[in-house]
Chain A
Amino acid sequence: MSDDIRDERLSRLYREAEAAAPPEALDRAILAASRAALAPARRRARWQAWTLPMGVAATLVLTVTLTLLVQREQEPPLGEAPLPRAPAAAPQERAEPGAELPAKTAAPPAAKREAVRREAEAPPPAPTPAASRPASQPPVVEQKALPAPAPEAVGAAEPARPAAAMRRQSAPAADAVEMRAKSAPLRKEAAGAAAARTPEQWLEEIRQLKAQGRDQQAAEALAEFRQAYPDYRLPEDLR
């Protein structure tokens, strides 16, 4: 091969030397590496063909799911009228000791269940508290029933409400249930009405009680209001 420099006798003798060869394990390793170098390229190409459709499908599913979830959360549960959010809890209430945490976390579902149960039992809510009330109906009954349903209704419509307010509504659960049992069907009606009432409407009713000279009832209603909305800033005329 290398022109006239090569010595044929030397070459022949060299070829008669013991033929060294690579170990079989080395052969296998190299051939495996040569095949492996080709395999990922094929697999990647096949996968890449599915990347775009899979990505589009995943995006669509995610979008539809999120839209449905948001719509479901915006709908008022069981035909309940949407209520304004309760005022935010005071900072010191948020920073209460950790021992109360289990009660806080357990409260919302319990309150919600209770509200749902009573909503199912109660007749349709009264349209407006004062204007539509018949003259013969004693307003006292309605006012007495006011405080109890209001927190429940808020709790049902708002699972993420401040912990202190929720605790106040659900902790004395036994007492509340007992009281509610005593005040029969009229109370259920009032509960329905109160559930659809905003704090402003509630305060307007208190003002009307005061205007009618029923100070005792107005004071009781105001105390219940404060219990239900401890952080609500009362108007000057009701302080």
Chain B
Amino acid sequence: MHEGMSDEALMLAYRDGDAAAFEALYRRWRSRLYRTLLRQCGNAAQADELFQDVWLKVVNARKGYEVAAKFSTWLFRIAHNRLIDHYRAQGRAEVVSYDDDPDDADRIASLPAAATAQPEALLERKALAQELVKHIEALPAAQRETFLLSEEGELTLEEIAAATGTSRETAKSRLRYAVNKLRAALGELK
């Protein structure tokens, strides 16, 4: 019944009292949002908490929901804000990296060191994929988030900028740094 409906239509239906519409919407986005949060905070328990908070915010915001952007952009925007709160509460350095100027050329120098793993030794792609995840988790938070929004949220640069409250150019720069870094880490994929 809800399969052919867009995310936005489902959310509007939920706003108007259709509980099944929310369930369909949740099934579509649960894994991608969860993986984004898990990669961002690196802790399953914290990811669970953040994940629940984000969806509860969606539930509580249903009454005032209007289609002003793609649902996924709105969803990941909520996740972004919740992550910022989480980082601040944790006193983690990721907040600093969000506040930094991403276009700063010195930023490249501040990226984590190249992975010490030897990709060529990882014969199976599954293991190689897990290695990639580790490198993603090692990225600075802003770059990691941009990469995940691109991969999991399938957002465009404009949508990433809207979700993270930055400009398109900033989002583009962050994504470029992230991709280059991961390519460097997994040298044989270059």
Contacts and interface: CB of A to CB of B under 8 A. Distances in A.
B19 interface: yes
B176 A5 contact: yes
B118 interface: no
Nearest to A19: B31
Contacts of B35: 19-21
Interface in A69-103: none
A23 B48 CA distance: 8
B154 A13 contact: no
Given A2-B156, A20-B34, A37 B183 contact: no
A37 B59 contact: yes
Contacts of B31: 19-22
A31 interface: yes
B179 A10 contact: yes
A1 interface: yes
A21 to B, nearest CB: 5
Interface of B: 14, 17, 19, 22-23, 26, 30-31, 34-35, 38, 44, 48, 51-52, 55-56, 59-60, 62, 125-126, 128-130, 132-133, 136, 150-151, 154-157, 160, 171-172, 175-176, 179, 182-183, 186, 189
A22 B19 contact: no
Interface residues of A, number: 32
Interface string A14-51: 11111111110011011101110110011000000000
30 contacts: A2-B150, A2-B157, A5-B179, A6-B179, A7-B179, A9-B189, A10-B182, A10-B186, A11-B151, A13-B125, A14-B132, A16-B129, A17-B129, A18-B126, A19-B31, A20-B31, A20-B34, A20-B38, A22-B30, A26-B51, A26-B52, A27-B26, A30-B26, A30-B52, A31-B22, A33-B55, A34-B19, A34-B22, A34-B23, A41-B17
Interface of A: 1-3, 5-7, 9-11, 13-23, 26-27, 29-31, 33-35, 37-38, 41-42
